[in-house]
Structure formats: C-alpha cells, structure tokens
Structure 1
Amino acid sequence: MNTKILITFVLLLTVTGIIAKQCYRCTGCPRPFKGNEAGVNKVNVGDNDYCQKTVALGTESRDSGGNDCTPVDKMKYCCKGHLCNGATITTLTIKLLAVTTSLLFVVQFFQ
C-alpha cells in the first residue's frame, strides 16, 4: 500500500513540475484581483525567478521580479510560486484544502 501512495505522490509532483512557471502581469491591476480580468496577462518565468507585486500610491502592479527581487516593506512583495503574485489568503486556503482532500482520496483509493 505504501508503495502505491509513494508512486502516486511522485507522479503528481512530476506532472506539477511539467507546467511552466508563470507570473501575473498588469499595471493598475483591478481590485479585487482575480487573475482573469481584462488587462491581466501571464508571463513565463524561469524556475529561479520571482514574481512580484508592487503597491504605490494605491495602485497595484504585478510582473516578473527576475532572480533578484528584493521586497520593500508594504510596497513590494516577492514570491517564487506559480502565479503566486495574484494569490490571496483565500486562494491559498482553497488550494491547500484541495490538495489535502486529494491526498485523502488517494489514501482511501489505494487501501
């Protein structure tokens, strides 16, 4: 049973790794940000590149931060995940719930 779970986990990691890493790109990004609004694009970035979100004078911008992004307190945020510069706490919570549910399903399926 443990071998089946390990194989499934490795396959999930492999499939996830195949997807190109992207960052959101927009200037004057809409609020609330959902990622699919007009004027919001996605840009492919390298595995070691950061995504960034900048807030200046109440205007949000998102783009690639390159491989040397430096956060600035409450003005510039840097992250390294796929489309992470559009994530909110709610988005992260939903993704974590989906992953947990999927893993529980896999464990039950292979018993």
Structure 2
Amino acid sequence: MIQKKMHHVSFWYFRLLVIAATVTYVLAFMCYTCVGCGDPFDESQAKQQSCHGTCMKLIANDTVQRHCMGMPFDEKCSKVEGTETCFCSTDLCNGSDKRNISLISVIMSFIALVLLK
C-alpha cells in the first residue's frame, strides 16, 4: 500500500516537472532579427534570436527591421506618420503578416487537457 502511494506521488512529481520545464520553454520564443530584409520577407537575410519579451517588425522609409524587444507589448500593429510597427509573441511571428500558431502552444494545450482529465 505504501509503495503504491509512493509510486502515485512520484508520478505527480514527474507531471509537475514536465509542466515546469514546458512552461519555462514556452516563455522564451524565437524572433527574426534583421535590418533591410524586406517585405515580402527574405528569410535568408535574417537571424533567429531567443526572446523573452516581444517580437517587433518596423517599417519606416521603405526599410523593414525585425527585432526582439526585451519587454512585453500588446500584440498589435500601429501606423504613425508613415512608420508602421507590429508586435507579436509567438515563434518567428515577425517574419510576415500572417499569424502563426506556436507548436509549443498546441503541445501545452494537449498536456493540460490530459492532466486535467
């Protein structure tokens, strides 16, 4: 009986460890970084950078820049005096105008569904 309880506790510790590791991984995502990499996007001119804030795409004077911002911003685009700035927070979301669904988000949803059953 005690051994069965210990196995059950170990299984819960394992679940918590998996969730903690996944959440830590999910909090960091990848952003493209480049200056002058155009729209339509030329991925060969860009690098990828791990980001703990927000990805940004800036279009000013016909020049496109993509960066990781070290702080969170609302996921939206704004245009002021001919300069357009877009913020997003999923993997490589600043590569184009399309919205990406992060594979990690799908996996986390599946794990949460299984664990909460």
Q: Give the TM-score normalised by structure 2.
A: 0.51
1:24 counterpart = 2:32: yes
Which secondary structure state, in structure 2, belongs to the residue aligned with residue 23 of structure 1?
A: strand
Residue equivalent to 1:84: 93
Total equivalences in the alignment: 100
Residue equivalent to 1:61: 65
Gaps of 5+ in 1: 1-12, 93-111
More strand by share: 2
- Cα 1:21–1:72 change in 2 (3 A) is closer
Q: Which protein shows a greater Rg? A: 2
1:73 counterpart = 2:78: yes
Which whole-Å CA distance do the structure 2 matches of 1:84 and 1:21 have between them? Answer: 10
- 1:23-75 Cα shifts (integer Å, max 9, x gaps): 00010113311x6x332100111x4x000000101211100022144767221
Which secondary structure state, in structure 1, belongs to the residue aligned with residue 78 of structure 2?
A: coil
Q: Of the two structures, which has the highest relative contact order with CA contacts closer than 8 Å and spacing of 6 or more?
A: 1
Give the CA RMSD over aligned residues: 4.3
Give 2:36's aligned amino acid: G
- 1:59-101 Cα shifts (integer Å, max 9, x gaps): 1110002214476722111111111111425x66xxxxxxxxx
